[in-house]
Amino acid sequence: MTTQSFRNAEGGLIDRATPLDFTFDGKAFQGFAGDTLASALVANGVRLVGRSFKYHRPRGLIGAGVEDPCGLVRLGAGDRAEPNTRATLTELFAGLTADSQNRWPSLKWDASALTGLAGRLFPAGFYYKTFISPQVLWPTYEKIIRAMAGMGTCPEGPDPDVYDDRFAHADLLVVGAGPAGLAAALAAGRLGQRVILAEQDMRLGGDLLAANRSIDGRPALDWVADTVAELEALPDVTLLPRTTVFGYHDHNLLAAVERVTDHLPHAPAGLPRQRHWKIRAGRVVLATGAIERPLVFADNDRPGVMLASAARAYVNRWAARPGTRAVVVTNNDDGYRSALDLQAGGIEIAALLDTRPEGGGALAQMARDAGLSPRHGMAVARALGGHAVTGAEITALSGGGATETVDCDLIAVSGGWAPTLHLHSQARGKATYDESLTAFVPTDPKQAHESVGAAAGDLTLAGALAAGSRAGGDDTLAPPADDHPAAPIQALWQVPKPPSGKGKRFVDIQDDVTAEDVALAHREGYESVEHLKRYTTLGMGTDQGKTSNVNGLAIMAGLRGQTIPAVGTTTFRPPFTPVTMGTFAGREAGHHFAPIRRTPLHARHDALGAVFQTAGLWLRARYYPLEGETMAEAVAREASHVRRIGGMVDVSTLGKIDIQGPDAADLLNRFYVNGFKALPVGKCRYGLMLREDGIVLDDGTTTRIGDTHYYMTTTTANAVTVMRNLELYLQVHWPDLDVSVASVSDQWAGVALAGPRARDLLARVADIDVSNDAFPFLAYREGAVAGIPARLFRISYSGELAYEIHVPSDFAPALWDALLEHGADLDIRPYGTEAMSTLRIEKGHMVIGTEIDGRTTADDLGMGRMVSTKKPFIGHVLKDRPGLTEGGRKQLVGLVPVDKRTPIPETCQIVKPGVVTGRDPVPIEGHVTAGTFSPSVGHPIALALVKDGRARLGETLHAVSPTTRVRVPVTVTSPVFVDPEGERLHA
Amino acid sequence: MLLIPCPWCGPRPQTDFTYGGDGTVVRPAEDAPQAAWADFVFVRDNPMGPHRELWHHSAGCRRWLVVERDTVTHDITGSFKPGEVPS
Amino acid sequence: MRYSFLSLARNALTGHRDWPPAWRSPEPRASYDVIIVGGGGHGLATAYYLAKDHGITNVAVLEKGYLGGGNTGRNTTIVRSNYLLEANAHFYEKSMKLWEGLSEDLNYNVMFSQRGVLNLAHSDAQYNAFGRRGNAMRLNGIDAELLDRDQVAAMVPDLDCSPSARFPVRGGLLQPRGGTARHDAVAWGYARAADARGVDIIQNCEVTGLIRVGGRITGVETTRGVIKAPKVGLVVAGHTGHLAAMAGLRLPIESHVLQAMVSEPLKPVLDTVVTSGAAHGYISQSDKGELVMGGDLDFYNSYGQRGNAPALEHVVRSIVTLFPRYGRVRLMRFWGGIMDMTMDGSPIIGTTPVDGLFINGGWCYGGFKATPGSGWVFAQTLAKGHPHRLNEAFSLDRFASGHAIDEKGAGPIPGAH
């Protein structure tokens, strides 16, 4: 166990009474409750935490929070491993295990670091310029590049955790619980508003947690504690620590992720790992603070170069010293505050460099009072050291080039603060460059949001408190704070290279983009902000450029000789910080991704040993195999049984629509291509619907069950579409029609009874006269079947004598049981959708998806004669467009294998016999839409759409499936293979 | 997620609705020429800015409505019952 | 300066200070032979092939923002030609063949990576439909392989192929020559190559009006003044309708937003582009290691370049359902691109009722992979004044005449394609 040799004995928001053991790269360490993984590593003197993306350079912690680009680890192992996890955002818990990434064989000795030595060969976009010729070799190079790239490794197996969704409404959502956010929440909460305060940290307080500040003459942390206590007591205030608001969507909907159990060594049962909050807020206060910028100088990526604010955060909040001897370099007054805090935390300040030629405000004076000697006009030109900083080469910015070396193990840098305006920008607000801040500030909000405090560019504590209070609805709540007048910041975007010319000056430290890369992009014409980003990958890493975008932009502006606002800013794309895919998925993944629909008879099918098949969301009984039977055997048996004896099939998935009103007949007449006005009560009619463009949409049977009352069935696939269309036309296009429609698909279940003995069975169970005269083909009757009130339709899909019996869904199992029971001695058996398909293919009936494929017309399908020429209907005009009526269209035909033996696979396309399929394109004559073995005719048959097919009956063509190496000579026939006269269904 | 004001039900989340496209196209007279029908079915103004469009409150009251929404900002400035859309 | 490993090494010695600009930044001239409106991949490719294949080099490409700033740089980089309908198959296959030599042709590595595009079939019906499509591809001279479940499982080990999966895998249709390319590089490569042949690429130049004299186009008004040309090609993707309206044209196009997203970079886990129509999601892994994902439209007209939560969540749910292993991977960035969706899901490339005005748009989801082919046929259309055989079918009047190319059979609902 390594001791926490860089931990101060006193101070910090850690619980020294609760030590926590953890490992990093297999080595055991100890931290305290309240630590992050990062602060615990700092306390243990661990400097080297990772390797960079491209050059595999050694990297340490640069930030202390969300901005840190380099402290990425793989947390945990196995299925629960989490790659690319920021150490600074990982709350320490007992037993935490973390490993460094992107290195082999070890973090210290990374073989790929050789690319860094050859770094000159790999400037920005090098891959665009090489591996070009011969192009066939690119995949070989690419393989190497892919292996070198990437960062963490994926978890090993399926994610075992669950994630929740939570919807919430609030009068006010406050994002960020720093001084401004707390003040806003308090003001609004006291006014009785429903407030949600979301904070990504484990503790509320924001920057105050890491600063030695005072409010109202008391330590700021006391004010935080009082405020949090009061907020907790307010009934309509919800405090959400560990919750990152990452997305600002339209209509003031904000998305947040709450890390519910990530910080616990063992997640309690019943809790999700993370919770996805979707908050619809009346107003939003963005108190998201600001992020400090690094300075760009040579080898500014060495472990030990750190944001000054991060260094002071480690010291103040976690009592952990990121070094023992520091060089602090700043272009603004805040750097002095960091220097003072580091000094107070026991770190020797070896040098305090102020890049500004002179000046410094009150804080500079305080530094001098504390014995520090700021050196003006100086900067760090280069960091020295490899796996850790060993010194700084410092230089005067005024030129001359002389450098001196200062021994140190920490270089704390402050390049000024940039407001965190990501959410503001996501909400379409503008970003305007503020010269006095040398940063973009949020302006012109487009939704109901307001940025306050540092997020709005006001870096004073009193200002943050006042703005927060005001935004919360009370401008009297603004306690004074210990701000000091500051001298202006100096815009310093890059420190010139050291005279030796050595070192790389990193702008984007995660993705290894240097100032030289920016210059190269400019030189080559990639000078718009987006080109810069895309060409160099600046800001494209997991930190999305939080510390690098403005520096890169400013360097480019300098090269272009333009102002920063003239060059523009990049888009802030969501999410603010990376969010686990599981969180987006919530519970609606896996089996809950889409609902599974089961018919009311599902359990019956299951009990009969049915094999199920998915049809859209539905599960349908496909066939009922006997022991040892293949699907083909079972299907042939079932289909043949229906034709010889009889069978029953579940047709409950059909769409069913109740249509009532004086104009119902008129409505149907407008929807179907064929006439419905003359349909008498008690009769069914098959109908065909087109889309407005004249293409077939759907078919089905509609029955007139009363004077102004109709019952429509649609295909399973189009149940929703047809219903929606009926509503659309009735409500929007034809509001004058007096008709009501209601979907009753779920209310009614249906069983089709088909085959020569169907009538015998029906006679036994129904209380109506089922004789052919009393209940002829296409008639409709109401009655009781096995005592169940039922709608009976003499319609047939199979082409046999058949009935459809529809009953209220709850009665479907009783109906099924009765039919099975009373049909037992008649040998009437259930059949599945596959046999139903065989039966329909034998009859040349079409289905959605294959024959009705969204491209076929009524005439293509041989239904041209059904189409009325006497009335308008949906699609009646555009169906006559030349392209839909000209020759050469594919028409529905039947196919029979020439040898009467070989099956015709449904994957086949159709070519002329002489056509050789190979590499060259060949003419295609058509395609197979459905194929089956027909037990009725005793050989395989198929349906097909063939160019001018109806004129080619008798012609021999070849059905080919090159992907499965099948070629079947076939004869074109009529699509009706069984009972073309329809005698059986009229029997 | 959009918040769509249904004239019958009040504001409801977008996921309650199904989009129905341009709400300004008018179905031609049945005897209108083919070109007029082709225009109705295929051609759209597709404006960048305010757009009157049909939505179906499919998981709600099952009514169709006309929503006026800006196609760039997604701001909704009106929601009407069909037939009551101001000109 | 030609790009090669040698030139890279040579320039390394001088600190990469001698690389010339990839393209000039010329001032617009008063007139050109051809003006291309839109500096995305398609516009730049058109200019390149006009210069290379037709000797027409007095060409300007006018871009209102920066090169490749529209959908060229916002897509999920998939390249394929796995189409059922003949017009699509032949056109996209031409494009595929151009991709196969593009890096060498442009002397710019567009990182075209033929790692295969696999469409998952989750039912027998889907498998058969894919088989029909695969066979149509083969007959049209395109590579296609129909895989069974085990072959799919071997190829994509992270895919949930268990029988109990919500979408059990029945098999898949693989186009081995399909894959991905580096999207930005395509725009830059074409720009550099077109520039080298004399084409003027003018960024930050927005077209504000189309000048017509008696039914003929004579030039364009721009934010940088009037520029004359007897031929103008509109290649502006999501803004096609908007620009066509300047010439009084209304189009069978709606603009919709399609979202895409990338995860944090991971070491290689997925070697193929995988799509599932049933689950509405597709995924690949970029050379940088990010999982690149997309799915359905947001379904309402939009010029917003940003999507909303429901569509985004749907994509992620679909991917996590298909690939349960990726549940803990984090999304790093998501964004939206504006799709110019036509009424049949296929593009419009050809002449317009206005003489001299040509249109190339309506790319729906298919724009990126079409880039080389689109530029190639459009260059010929502009040069000759009439379409090439490969884009004849993609005419603007096909809707009125009943010759829609409706690959999906979804009908005149742009969002449904």
A594-623 tens-digit pLDDT: 999 999 999 999 999 999 999 999 999 999
pLDDT at C85 over 90: yes
pLDDT at A475 over 70: yes
**Nearest-CB residue to B82 (from A253, A446, A731):** A731
**Nearest-CB residue to B19 (from C241, C299, C400):** C299
**Nearest-CB residue to A581 (from C100, C188, C320):** C320
A1-157: CATH topology: Ubiquitin-like (UB roll) (3.10.20)
Do C239 and C357 belong together in one domain?
yes
CA atoms of A315 and A310, how far apart (whole Å): 9
A313-342 per-position pLDDT tens digit: 999 999 999 999 999 999 999 999 999 999
Give the phi and the psi of residue A462 in degrees, each rounded to 5.
-65, -40
Q: Which of A145, A148, A581 is the best mutation test for C, with the most CBs of C within 10 A?
A: A581
Shortest CA gap C303–chain B (Å): 5
Strand order in the sheet with A374-376: A305-307, A410-414, A325-330, A348-354, A374-376
When pLDDT is averaged across residues A542-549 and rounded to a whole number, the result is 93
**Nearest-CB residue to C308 (from B1, B48, B69):** B1
What is the number of CB-based contacts under 8 A between chain A and chain B? 54
- Token code pair at residue C99: 């991709």
CA atoms of A218 and A317, how far apart (whole Å): 17
Do C122 and C73 belong together in one domain?
no
Do C189 and C321 belong together in one domain?
no
- Return the CATH number of A161-291+416-485, one of 3.40.50.150, 3.10.20.30, 3.50.50.60, 3.40.630.30: 3.50.50.60
Task: Say whether A735 and B64 touch across the interface (CB within 8 A).
Answer: no
- With beta carbons under 8 A apart, name residues in chain A contacting C264: 83-84, 151-152, 542, 578
Position C72 in a domain: yes
Task: Say whether B71 and C301 touch across the interface (CB within 8 A).
Answer: yes
pLDDT at A968 over 90: yes
A621-678 per-position pLDDT tens digit: 999 999 999 999 999 999 999 999 999 999 999 999 999 999 999 999 999 999 999 9
C91-112 per-position pLDDT tens digit: 999 999 999 999 999 999 999 9
Q: What is the reported pLDDT for A478? A: 84
What pTM, to 2 d.p., does this model score? 0.97
Q: Which residue has the higher pLDDT, A116 or C17?
A: C17
CATH number of the domain to which C237 belongs: 3.50.50.60
- With beta carbons under 8 A apart, name residues in chain C contacting A921: 90, 139-141
Do C274 and C167 belong together in one domain?
yes
Contact present, C225 and C28 (Cβ < 8 Å): yes
**Nearest-CB residue to C8 (from A126, A593, A907):** A126
Amino acid, res. A439? A
Domain tally for chain C?
2
- Return the CATH number of A887-987, one of 3.40.50.720, 3.40.50.970, 2.40.30.110, 3.90.180.10: 2.40.30.110
- With beta carbons under 8 A apart, name residues in chain A contacting C90: 921
| A280 part of contact set with chain B, CB < 8 Å | yes
Do C280 and C243 belong together in one domain?
no
- In eight-state DSSP terms, residue C338 is E
Q: In 3-state terms, what secondary structure has residue A705?
A: strand
**What stretch of H or E contains B68?**
strand B64-70
**Nearest-CB residue to C166 (from A593, A908, A921):** A593
Determine the residue of chain A that is closest to C311 in CA distance: A584
Residues 6+ apart with CB under 8 A from A723: A655, A657, A714, A741, A743
| pLDDT range class, residue A560, cuts 50, 70, 90 | very high
- With beta carbons under 8 A apart, name residues in chain C contacting B35: 400
- With beta carbons under 8 A apart, name residues in chain B contacting C310: 1, 14-15
Q: What is the reported pLDDT for A359? A: 80
| A430 part of contact set with chain B, CB < 8 Å | no
Task: Say whether C412 and B42 touch across the interface (CB within 8 A).
Answer: yes
Position C399 in a domain: yes
In sequence order, which ranges of A783-934 are alpha helices (DSSP H)? 812-823, 833-843, 882-885
CA atoms of A441 and A448, how far apart (whole Å): 17
Average pLDDT, chain A: 96
When pLDDT is averaged across residues A162-171 and rounded to a whole number, the result is 97
C214-230 per-position pLDDT tens digit: 999 999 999 999 999 99
Task: Say whether B34 and A881 touch across the interface (CB within 8 A).
Answer: yes
Q: Which chains touch C (3 or more CB pairs under 8 A)?
A: A, B
Residues 6+ apart with CB under 8 A from A821: none
Percent of chain C with pLDDT over 90: 92
CA atoms of A952 and A969, how far apart (whole Å): 15
In sequence order, which ranges of A66-204 are alpha helices (DSSP H)? 114-117, 126-129, 138-148, 179-190
Contact present, C82 and C216 (Cβ < 8 Å): no
Q: Which of residues 432-451 of A touch B (CB under 8 A)?
A: 446
| pLDDT range class, residue C152, cuts 50, 70, 90 | very high
A65-100 per-position pLDDT tens digit: 999 999 999 999 999 999 999 999 999 999 999 999
CA atoms of A378 and A395, how far apart (whole Å): 6
Q: What is the reported pLDDT for A687? A: 98
Contact present, A279 and A253 (Cβ < 8 Å): yes
Q: What is the reported pLDDT for A111? A: 87
- With beta carbons under 8 A apart, name residues in chain B contacting C343: 41-42
Q: What is the reported pLDDT for C345? A: 96
| B81 part of contact set with chain C, CB < 8 Å | no
Position C187 in a domain: yes
**Sequence ranges of the domains in chain A:** 1-157, 161-291+416-485, 294-415, 597-653+747-839, 655-743, 887-987
| A724 part of contact set with chain B, CB < 8 Å | yes
Average pLDDT, chain C: 96
Q: What are the C-alpha distances in Å from C56 to residues C102, C233, C374, C380?
A: 20, 14, 17, 11
- With beta carbons under 8 A apart, name residues in chain B contacting C259: none
CA atoms of C65 and C323, how far apart (whole Å): 38
Position C18 in a domain: no
Q: What is the reported pLDDT for A571? A: 78
- With beta carbons under 8 A apart, name residues in chain C contacting A882: 401-402
Task: Say whether A692 and B41 touch across the interface (CB within 8 A).
Answer: yes
A294-415: CATH topology: FAD/NAD(P)-binding domain (3.50.50)
| pLDDT range class, residue A918, cuts 50, 70, 90 | confident
| B87 part of contact set with chain C, CB < 8 Å | no
Amino acid, res. C138? R
Contact present, A455 and A421 (Cβ < 8 Å): yes
Topology alike, domains A161-291+416-485 and A294-415:
yes
Shortest CA gap A772–chain C (Å): 37
Domain that holds residue C222: 27-77+183-252+344-361+377-410
Q: Regarding beta strands A618-623 and A647-650, do their DSSP bridges make them parallel or antiparallel, or are they unpaired? A: unpaired
- Token code pair at residue C328: 């803990």
- Token code pair at residue B11: 């504001």
Contact present, A516 and C16 (Cβ < 8 Å): yes
Q: What is the reported pLDDT for C417? A: 86
- With beta carbons under 8 A apart, name residues in chain C contacting B69: 300
Average pLDDT, chain B: 97
Q: What is the reported pLDDT for A897? A: 98
Do C283 and C393 belong together in one domain?
no
Q: Which chains touch A (3 or more CB pairs under 8 A)?
A: B, C
- With beta carbons under 8 A apart, name residues in chain A contacting B41: 692-693, 878
- With beta carbons under 8 A apart, name residues in chain A contacting B54: 728, 732
Do C269 and C127 belong together in one domain?
yes
Do C213 and C348 belong together in one domain?
yes
Position C323 in a domain: yes
Do C260 and C311 belong together in one domain?
yes
Q: Which of C242, C300, C302, C341 is the best mutation test for B, with the most CBs of B within 10 A?
A: C300
SS (H, E, C) A330-377: ECCCHHHHHHHHHHHCCCEEEEEEECCCCCCCHHHHHHHHCCCCEEEC
CA atoms of A664 and A827, how far apart (whole Å): 41
- With beta carbons under 8 A apart, name residues in chain A contacting C112: 135, 138
- DSSP letters for A761-817: HHHHHBSS--STTTS-TTBEEEEEETTEEEEEE---SSSSSEEEEEEEGGGHHHHHH
> What contacts 24+ positions apart, CB below 8 Å, involve A525-528?
A525/C21, A525/C22, A525/C23, A525/C25, A526/A125, A526/C22, A526/C188, A527/A556, A527/A559, A527/A560, A528/A568, A528/C65, A528/C66, A528/C69, A528/C203
**What stretch of H or E contains A433?**
strand A430-434
Q: What are the C-alpha distances in Å from A501 to residues A285, A954, C174?
A: 47, 85, 52
Task: Say whether B74 and A250 touch across the interface (CB within 8 A).
Answer: yes
Shortest CA gap C294–chain B (Å): 18
Contact present, C199 and C43 (Cβ < 8 Å): no
Do C161 and C198 belong together in one domain?
no
The reply to whether CATH 3.30.70.1400 applies to domain A655-743 is yes
CA atoms of A560 and A522, how far apart (whole Å): 8
Task: Say whether C415 and B21 touch across the interface (CB within 8 A).
Answer: yes
| B53 part of contact set with chain C, CB < 8 Å | yes
- In eight-state DSSP terms, residue A268 is P
pLDDT at A117 over 80: no
Q: What is the reported pLDDT for C348? A: 97
Q: Which of A720, A877, A878 is the best mutation test for B, with the most CBs of B within 10 A?
A: A877
Do C187 and C163 belong together in one domain?
no
Q: In 3-state terms, what secondary structure has residue A263?
A: coil
A955-964 per-position pLDDT tens digit: 999 999 999 9
**Nearest-CB residue to C69 (from A131, A530, A579):** A530
Position C65 in a domain: yes
Task: Say whether C300 and B72 touch across the interface (CB within 8 A).
Answer: no
CATH number of the domain to which C133 belongs: 3.30.9.10
Do C220 and C326 belong together in one domain?
no
| pLDDT range class, residue C238, cuts 50, 70, 90 | confident
Task: Say whether C263 and A149 touch across the interface (CB within 8 A).
Answer: no
What are the structural domains, with CATH classification, of chain B? 1-26+49-87 (3.30.2270.10)
Question: How many CA atoms are closer than 13 Å to the CA of A977, on its beta-carbon side?
Answer: 28
Length of chain A: 987
Look up the CATH number of domain A597-653+747-839. 3.30.1360.120
Beta strands in A624-779 (DSSP E): 647-650, 655-660, 683-690, 696-706, 709-714, 740-743, 748-754
Q: Which is it for the CA torsion A712, A717, A722, A723, positive or negative?
A: positive
pLDDT at A1 over 60: no
Q: Which of B1, C159, C261 is nearest to A276 (CA)?
A: B1
Residue C14 burial class via C-beta count within 10 angstroms: exposed 0-12, middle 13-18, buried 19 and up: exposed
pLDDT at C188 over 90: yes
Q: In 3-state terms, what secondary structure has residue A729?
A: helix
CA atoms of A703 and A779, how far apart (whole Å): 9
| B76 part of contact set with chain C, CB < 8 Å | no
Amino acid, res. B36? A
Q: What is the reported pLDDT for C101? A: 97
| pLDDT range class, residue A2, cuts 50, 70, 90 | low
A393-412 per-position pLDDT tens digit: 999 998 777 889 999 999 99
